[in-house]
């Protein structure tokens, strides 16, 4: 079995050494997205990329990196939960970018960290988030009980206004480009 074409390959090695996997969005067809469409990429399973895509807009690519050479978005927001495994997955992705081994044509715009539970984070996780924020823009998404039960019609929390602005900025860039 070949490794997945997304963030999980960071555990196994550089992206360039992984065989190309078809993306379900483009399987069998060429899909053309408008210029600078925002792609949500999950750093790990259950990160919440689908939820953020449904709430804020953009393209949910699951755990696969976009392929700009196939017309997919080149601007990425990496999504993870705020638990230890989620933050480790983000750190692996950032290391990939630090080494210059990210897929060609990909621009990491920001990281969206979704609360894995209600309440405050332990100090050790807060410190990891601070380190991540020192190298990339981080947007925190608080716990939303309604989202847990699948109700994505509730308004996004005020704490997410920066993330909403990022998506709106992307939409403005597409309409002007």
Residue 2 lies in a domain: no
The tens digit of pLDDT for each residue in 98-111 reads: 999 988 889 999 99
Residue 170 lies in a domain: yes
Pick from 56-60, 82-86, 160-164 the range whose average pLDDT is largest. 82-86
Residue 88 lies in a domain: yes
CATH number assigned to the domain comprising residue 54: 3.40.50
Token duo for residue 153: 């019609």
Token duo for residue 99: 């080494």
Average pLDDT, the chain: 81
Residue 13 lies in a domain: no
Give the model's confidence band at 160: pLDDT under 50 very low, under 70 low, under 90 confident, else very high: very high
Residue 14 lies in a domain: no
Comparing 24-38, 106-120, 147-161, the range with the smallest average pLDDT is 24-38
Segments forming the whole domain that contains residue 125:
32-176
pLDDT at 19 over 70: no
The structure tokens 């469409």 sit at: 37
Comparing 13-22, 66-75, 146-155, the range with the smallest average pLDDT is 13-22
The domain total for the chain is 1
Give the model's confidence band at 20: pLDDT under 50 very low, under 70 low, under 90 confident, else very high: very low
Residue 54 lies in a domain: yes
Residue 1 lies in a domain: no
Residue 12 lies in a domain: no
Report pLDDT for 165.
86
The set of residues, in sequence order, having a beta carbon less than 8 Å from that of 94 and lying 6+ positions away, is 132, 135, 136
């Amino acid at each position: 079995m070949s490794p997945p074409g997304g963030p999980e390959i960071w555990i196994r090695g550089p992206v360039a050494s992984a065989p190309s996997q078809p993306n379900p969005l483009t399987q069998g067809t060429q899909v053309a997205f408008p210029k600078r469409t925002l792609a949500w990429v999950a750093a790990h399973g259950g990160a919440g990329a689908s939820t953020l895509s449904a709430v804020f807009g953009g393209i949910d690519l699951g755990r696969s990196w976009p392929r700009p050479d196939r017309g997919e978005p080149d601007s990425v927001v990496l999504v993870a939960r705020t638990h230890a495994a989620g933050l480790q997955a983000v750190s692996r992705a950032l290391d990939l970018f630090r080494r210059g081994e990210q897929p060609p044509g990909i621009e990491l715009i920001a990281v969206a960290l979704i609360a894995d539970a209600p309440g405050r984070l332990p100090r050790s996780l807060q410190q990891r988030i601070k380190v991540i924020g020192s190298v990339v823009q981080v947007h925190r998404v608080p716990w939303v009980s309604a989202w847990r039960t699948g109700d994505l019609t509730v308004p996004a929390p005020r704490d997410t206004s920066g993330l909403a602005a990022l998506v709106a900025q992307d939409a403005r860039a597409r309409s002007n480009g």
